[in-house]
Amino acid sequence: MFDKVQNLDVVLREANLRPTRQRIDLARLLFSKGERHVCAETLFEEAREAGVMVSLATIYNTLHQFTDNGLLRAITVDSSRTYFDTNTGDHHHFYLEDSNELMDMPDGYVKIDNLPKPPEGLEISSVDVVVRVRPTSKN
Amino acid sequence: MFDKVQNLDVVLREANLRPTRQRIDLARLLFSKGERHVCAETLFEEAREAGVMVSLATIYNTLHQFTDNGLLRAITVDSSRTYFDTNTGDHHHFYLEDSNELMDMPDGYVKIDNLPKPPEGLEISSVDVVVRVRPTSKN
DNA sequence: ATTTGTGCAAATCGTTTGCATCTGA
DNA sequence: TCAGATGCAAACGATTTGCACAAAT
């Protein structure tokens, strides 16, 4: 992660992506602030605030290319938007239902036991665990 | 057939929903064929095939009302559409990535251990486990 | 009579696409 | 040079919404 920051040029090259100005700028935004969960719109806004010129179309392209090349991981928890996680390792999430925010779940937790084998001819691609949480009700 | 309608009538009343013609027709489609995973568009199509007259807007309204009143469970696995499961009990899913299909995972499997407590002020709303599967690659 | 539900069409909204124009190797 | 990238605007597809009309209690 931190090494991703050091040489964005190399990171992109190793991911088979041309280090273009916008990809480097976006990579810097994504990887120089620790773990993050962004969606296209939030990254676009962040870029704008940082004075980085990128079109929304390029944001989408970049997020997908990064995902396809292992720099990001896509998370589906809200059917209205797609989230991207800078942490590509194996881990699970809390999803705050009231604010639509994602949080990484501390690793080492959640152990899944007794997973059934998938139906004939199918293999497991990933196991996603999402714990949906909401403000404690005070009844 | 006649008592079937009567039953649906009761089901809807107990869910605090007026047993209108379209709600009864949709309930029959949803609950008289065992476990199902539908999305708005598939239910709409099914209704059309069954000669049931319902507008798409009503399909959406009904799916949400049924969900809010415990007759259905909403599942988010694909950021482009929302699935509804007629099985409202505690269980998890296989998601076939190539066909965008959902399958219930046999119950009694998947035991989750060591779940971290949610952040301050938050309580668990649900724990969703989705095992994404794809055709076995033959490399 | 009042309340609630329905249908239609228009409006939203995140995301994708077509295409002309740039840019990095 | 030239394949690959970018930006813009139009296109898209699932879902929602506003509102007049119909049905349920």
CA B124 – CA A94 distance, rounded (Å): 9
* Contact (CB, 8 A) for A58 and A21: no
* Contact flag, residue A57 CB and nucleic strand C, below 7 A: yes
CB pairs under 8 A between A and B: 127
* Interatomic distance A85 CA / D2 C1' (Å): 34
Q: Give the tens place of pLDDT for each residue, A66-114.
A: 999 999 999 999 999 999 999 999 999 999 999 999 999 987 788 888 8
CA A54 – CA A16 distance, rounded (Å): 20
**pLDDT, position B4:** 44
| Residue-wise DSSP of chain B | -HHHHHHHHHHHHHTT----HHHHHHHHHHHSSSS-EEEHHHHHHHHHHTT----HHHHHHHHHHHHHTTS-EEEEEETTEEEEES--SS--EEEETTTTEEEEPPTT--EEE-PPPPSTTEEEEEEEEEEEEEEPP--
Q: Round the average pLDDT of chain A to a whole number and report it.
A: 92
Name all domains of chain A by residue range, CATH numbers in brackets: 8-133 (1.10.10.10)
Rounded to 10°, the helix A21-31/A40-49 angle is 100
B76 C-beta neighbours (distance < 10 Å), count: 18
**pLDDT, position A138:** 64
Task: Find the residue closest to D7 using CA and C1' atoms.
Answer: A55
**pLDDT, position A5:** 57
* Contact (CB, 8 A) for A111 and B113: yes
CA B132 – CA A126 distance, rounded (Å): 5
Q: What is the pTM of this model?
A: 0.91
Mean pLDDT by 10 residues, chain B (139 residues): 63 96 97 92 97 98 98 95 95 94 86 86 94 84
